[in-house]
Chain A
Amino acid sequence: MTGSLLSPGLILIIGAVMVPLLRGNLRSAYMLALPIAAFWHLLGLPYGEFGHLQVFGMELTTLRVDRLSTVFGYIFLIAAFLGLLYALHVKDTLQHVAALVYAGSAVGAVFAGDLITLFVYWEGTAIASVFLIWASRTERAFAAGMRYLVVQVGSGVLLLAGVALLYRDTGSIAFGQMGLVSLATWLIFLAFGIKCAFPFLHNWLQDSYPEATVSGTVILSAFTTKLAVYALARGFAGTEILVPIGAAMTAFPIFYAVIENDLRRVLAYSLNNQLGFMVVGIGIGTEMAVNGAVAHAFSHIIYKALLFMSMGAVLFRVGTIKGSELGGLYKSMPWTAGFCIVGAASISAFPLFSGFISKALIISAAMDNGYFWTWLVLLFASAGVFHHSGIKIPYFAFFAHDSGKRCAEAPANMLLAMAISAALCIGIGVYPHTLYSLLPFKVDFIPYTVEHVVTQLQLLFFSALAFTVLMRTGLYPPELRSVNLDFDWFYRRAGYDVAVAVGRGLQRLWDGFADLIGHAARGVVREVYRHHGPGGALARTWPTGEMAFWTTVLLAAYLLLSYLAF
């Protein structure tokens, strides 16, 4: 492997080693320079497969540069830069190193040309990222991080099992289009599905992201799930089952988002909903649909990070992110409020914002290919996402009922990170062809037609009208201090109760069994002792008693086992 053909991800991972040795501004400058250097390196890479390594007779391809991997490489490095800039004020070496290794692993995974290399980086993202959750240093965060780690590593184990079976079946570990053709590819599909937060495999996301640190959640939001989107686009484009899976993902998290009180958890639900659009695009599988999925991942990473940044800034300044405690913060944090609204407009796909030009590709692809019901669900989810992310987030944090809370505006580095993200959201929305030119396939689509713009505005403004009417009539459910049960109940509560009950049962069984054995053994020993013991008729000259008996038993058992063994 020549130096110039190094995976861009390794620049971040190896670079992270130096971070603990640096202090103050030097460390800040160094950390920001790493994603820039990796980006520069990526710009100079030619298309092709490089970095071949021989391991156990298998040839690994550690660097595959093509249009699909390059566009994900760009956005991951942009996200790494923005996330690190947002986290500069944090004086926590652990978080800085974890963020760099995590981002580097995600970039490395995107450029992996084979499934073993993918697996190594896949687990790298799992292990590095959990430290961003644990860095909150609370008991809740520790428990949530543990659950997160079990799920993430579990995904890696499934991936490895699938790869092993695939290698046995086909003798190949190439990472290309697979489709659901064998148990091996099903396992790999499931591994991707866990990381992509498919329905019923999704709860790790809403459980853990809101427990991470202020900057940790911003960084987490960018990589893991979009790495899974990349992997699905690479391996399972056109897999029909992804269409209903994706449609379900767009729809059902929004019900939770409406009633959730923790605003960062609301964003986690809407993240899940946005992933659904990408999964539908991959499932449809036409060039336009896959382009849509990739474009949407690109826009989404930026606006979702921006939304998490604005809510993180509120949490950082006010100390809570519960909708029931907030309100009126636009007076204290006008810039943060403004940037949040840009993020909200982008996720809602308002014309001239990034979400509009990327989501339009997916929805148009669904229409062109005759997915009527899917199209209806996507429209419902589009209205819903505007409702809970576009309106609810800025409304309850910055407007609504004035909570009387007054605080300082966010720190300068946070504001700068939000400003750049907001500029990118608008830039992509206004100049869509810059993003379109990076997509894997040629784009032949004009987002700004009268039809697209007017119908989208109708959908959005009437959703806003619904919100207003529900608010003014008091029908809108108020923000309440609460948690809402989701699928994680099955393992956090039911599973826990079952485990405790089973544990108690086993304990009781064991106690009973031990009593029985002890009783029987004592009986036998007593009998034997009576005959063979010092006072026993049969052993008056053999006082070793019980000891000898047990030695005999052991020898007999040993003999028996030896027979069984051979």
Chain B
Amino acid sequence: MSTDHHPDAHATPGERRYWLDDMRNVDKLVYGLYAICAVLLLIDIFVPKHGPFAIEHWFGFYGIYGFVACVALVLAARALRVILIRPEDYYDR
């Protein structure tokens, strides 16, 4: 425990530096994610779909739906928080 004077430091002096401590490596992961998404979207043409709903057969439906759903979820939750947020001790008062 040598972090007392560096509570926010990414890597405390003398401590092992981790691969993820280097922001360039985090960028590599993000680019990797972009690449995987691109591949998954492209191979959609080759995937046979048997579901009963027409919408499912649209190009890239699952990917686009997942993306839109998550963005909508987070933005809605953000808006909701404005109404719902209370101090931590709200129920203790």
Question: Which residues of A come within 8 Å of B, CB atoms?
Answer: 140, 254-256, 258-259, 328, 330-331, 367-368, 370, 372, 375, 379-380, 383-384, 387, 399, 402-406, 450-451, 454-470, 472, 475-477, 480-486, 492-493
Contacts and interface: CB of A to CB of B under 8 A. Distances in A.
A466 B86 contact: no
Nearest to A387: B70
Given A451-B50, A493-B91, A465 B37 contact: yes
A41 to B, nearest CB: 44
A472 B2 CA distance: 30
Contacts of B20: 330, 399
A375 B53 CA distance: 10
Contacts of A470: 70-71, 74
Nearest to B30: A468
A278 B37 CA distance: 30
A483 B87 contact: yes
B92 A255 contact: no
Interface string B44-70: 100111111100000010111111011
Contact of A383 (B3, B47, B50, B69): B69
Contact of B67 (A367, A404, A462): A462
A372 B40 contact: no
A459 B62 CA distance: 5
A480 B86 CA distance: 10
Given A402-B10, A482-B86, A484-B81, 17 more contacts: A259-B84, A368-B52, A379-B62, A379-B66, A402-B21, A404-B9, A459-B65, A461-B66, A462-B67, A463-B70, A464-B33, A468-B33, A469-B71, A475-B74, A482-B87, A483-B87, A493-B91
Contacts of B10: 328, 402
B63 A258 contact: no
Contacts of A477: 74, 77-78, 81
B62 to A, nearest CB: 4
Contacts of B34: 465
Nearest to B16: A331
A420 B82 CA distance: 41
A455 B69 contact: no
A476 B74 contact: yes
B1 A258 contact: no
Contacts of B52: 367-368, 370
Contact of B64 (A454, A462, A484): A462
Given A259-B77, A461-B33, A455 B62 contact: yes
Nearest to B18: A331
Contact of B74 (A258, A330, A481): A258
Contacts of B2: 406
Nearest to A488: B91
A492 B91 contact: yes
11 contacts: A330-B18, A331-B18, A375-B53, A380-B69, A383-B69, A383-B73, A458-B63, A462-B37, A465-B67, A482-B85, A483-B86
Contact of B85 (A331, A387, A484): A484
Interface string B10-52: 1110001010110000000010011011001101100111111
A405 B70 CA distance: 30
